[in-house]
Chains A and B, each alone.
Chain A
Amino acid sequence: MKKISLKINLILTIAFLIGIYFFLSNVNILGDYWSRIVTLVAIYSIMAVSYTLVNGITGIFSLGQAGFIAIGAYTSALLTLSIQQKEMSFFIQPLIWPLNSIQIGFLPATIIGGLVAAFFAFLIGYPSLRLTGDYFAIATLAFAEIIRILIQNLYGVTNGTLGLKGINPYTNVWWAWSWLLVTVIVIGSLKYSSYGRALRAISEDPVAAKVMGIDVFRHQMMAFVISGFFAGVSGALYAHWITTLDPRPTSLGVMLTFYVLIMIVIGGLGSITGAILGAIFFAFVSQWLRIFESNITIFGFTIPGVPGMSMLILSVLFIIVMIFWRRGLMGKEELNWQKIYNFFKKVEVQNE
């Protein structure tokens, strides 16, 4: 089959980006609800792409993503909340000193949220990365739970179970999609750099990689910290999208890790475009399945809505994907113009 030249590739990519730009700048035509969903798609995509860097590309299986997202969310929210709002929220125990008298902009708060999450990723990765396989998964899960319980109990910093309210809704389509672009560029170029090749070697066979002279620990740590950074950024965006935060297990706890896991498994573990497709799928399907949770009337019969139905259907889908279709939508491959071209060529040949 014909190979697409670099020039055409570049033109198509730029055209695609311009297309996305026009779509995003006109998204408010679809209404407030849909522009919020489009924003959420980008936030989910950042979570999924940063998660797939660890779980797919590096091939170590972490269950701690929600912890980093929560750290990013809380850090940035505490930095952007107005001083009056903080005084109002923290009525059980006042907020500790430096945080109670500062308010900074959204961009620096997001970056600081990411950096704090990356720092925690380093702290957690340092002991955990010596473990392998399912032990690593359980250790990171335990660390994520420790983070959640700390958030729940440190009333002077996080307002504990009361949570944070009245966070400024800064996150809009542009913030979310620009950060997604940054995430994809960083993690994409990492995947195809020499570091990325080393990471893939490690995911295939850590012992063989070590024999080839790859410093397994350092590479895994780097991937883990970068993933933590973008998880923190996605948490910051999420906090300013949803505007209230609380440390229940079903909101910023292990449930969130499950959701992101569903996205990357459906998209294909190890694929960046797959992770984004998985995130789009998850965002739309979980919204669409909401119809099962409200009453439906067909020909005068009312079928009562069942709360939780959407997650039940998604979990069944998830298990089916794992049993019958383990490579997901993309496997470890990326979607590129060559693939799309080949696909249409194949369809054409079949039609003739």
Chain B
Amino acid sequence: MDIGLNALIQNIFNSLSLGGLYALIAVGYTMVYGILRLINFAHGDIFMMGTYFAFYAITAFFLPWYLGFLMAILITGLLGFSIEKIAYRPLRNAPRISSLITAIGMSFFLESFAVVVFGGIPKSFNVYPKFFSDIILIGQSRIPLLTFITIGVTFFLFLVLWWILYKTKIGLAMRAISVDIPATSLMGANVNNIISTTFVLGSAFAAVAGILWAMKYPQVQPYMGFTPGLKAFIAAVIGGIGSIQGAIVGGFLLGFLEIMIVGFFPSLAGYRDVFAYIVLVVILMFRPTGIFKIYSEQKV
């Protein structure tokens, strides 16, 4: 096998794992947007908080890693629940721009909170079992086990999400209120509970993505959520915001784009983050509804 093919295989696996992480975060954005038409700006910071929770569950409370990760996911879910209850619920009937500003404030708050409580200096995230970094040979490409775990967990969670949305009652209710909130509440569904569930689910997914992300780039710091959060939002827009299939497809597309462009043109590595933003602008210009969902134009 020649080196080009090895590099290609490596890049494909990298894109799948990076894309999967974007997709996991994007799902949280898109579910909230689908229901409340709110860009949950704090979602990237919820992702960051998830990694800190995992870090401290293991280093400060001496939990075994699997319990620590589980605790972190649950606490992050709780965090998402509280954020919605405290900051977004009072503004649900306010102009949409007010909720967006509050979400920005929430993001700012979580970042400052992390700086104050966890410290602004990056911490090394070396709390995961060592065998995660074992190298697996495919042909002659060396791929860490973590990449396979990331891809596996991502696909497993998408199955779980599919099951929740299409096989459970709460999933049915979630799909219903994304179409029409008043009508769903008239059918006897408790809108507040459904919205809370959405936030818990989205935040838990973000926590999983955060833990996987922190293992991939073994570091945690208070501003780590901004760029992945913004890119995952872009992934959601690419797929058509509000659509869950769209978020997943968009996440993988963005992952492939980033890894492949840098893989083929290494001199552009410094501009890696720019591609996502350019894609966003192009998509918004020419097909603002994304690949999947088509929102109708505003009627007067």
Residues of A whose CB lies within 8 Å of any CB of B are: 61, 63, 127-128, 130-135, 137-139, 141-143, 145-146, 149-150, 152-153, 207, 249-250, 254, 258, 261-262, 265, 306-309, 311-312, 314-316, 318-319, 322-323, 326
Contacts and interface: CB of A to CB of B under 8 A. Distances in A.
Contacts of B116: 306-309, 312
Interface of B: 39, 87, 90-91, 94, 96-98, 100-102, 104-106, 108-109, 112-113, 115-116, 120, 223, 226, 230, 233-234, 237, 270-271, 273-274, 277-278, 280-281, 284-285, 288, 298, 300
Given A145-B230, A149-B274, A312-B113, 6 more contacts: A135-B288, A142-B230, A207-B300, A249-B226, A258-B108, A323-B90
B92 to A, nearest CB: 11
B34 to A, nearest CB: 14
B109 A134 contact: no
A165 B91 CA distance: 44
Taking each of B98, B104, B288, B298, which has the highest tally of chain A beta carbons within 10 Å of its own beta carbon? B104
Contacts of B102: 319, 322-323
A63 B103 CA distance: 13
Contact of A322 (B98, B120, B237, B281): B98
9 contacts: A63-B104, A130-B285, A131-B288, A134-B96, A137-B100, A152-B270, A258-B108, A308-B116, A312-B112
Contact of A143 (B97, B98, B115, B281): B281
B108 A318 contact: yes
B115 A323 contact: no
Nearest to A293: B116
B105 A322 contact: yes
Contacts of A134: 39, 96-97, 100
B277 A145 contact: yes
A138 B280 contact: yes
A307 B226 contact: no
Q: Which of A131, A152, A254 has its CB near the most chain B CB atoms (within 10 A)?
A: A254
Nearest to A136: B284
A235 to B, nearest CB: 21
B271 A139 contact: no
Contacts of A152: 270
A314 B91 CA distance: 20
A141 B230 contact: yes
A127 B237 CA distance: 17
B2 to A, nearest CB: 31
A55 to B, nearest CB: 9
B100 A61 contact: yes
A138 B278 CA distance: 12
A323 B112 contact: no
Contact of B109 (A130, A132, A315): A315
Contacts of B270: 149, 152-153
Contacts of A261: 101, 104
A323 B120 CA distance: 28
A90 B284 CA distance: 38
Given A307-B115, A308-B115, A309-B116, A142 B280 contact: yes
Given A135-B288, A249-B226, A307-B115, A61 B108 contact: no
A-B complex: 5 closest residue pairs judged by Cβ atoms: A308-B115, A142-B277, A315-B109, A312-B112, A311-B112
Given A319-B87, A322-B102, A131 B300 contact: no
Contacts of A249: 223, 226
Contacts of A150: 274
Contacts of A250: 223
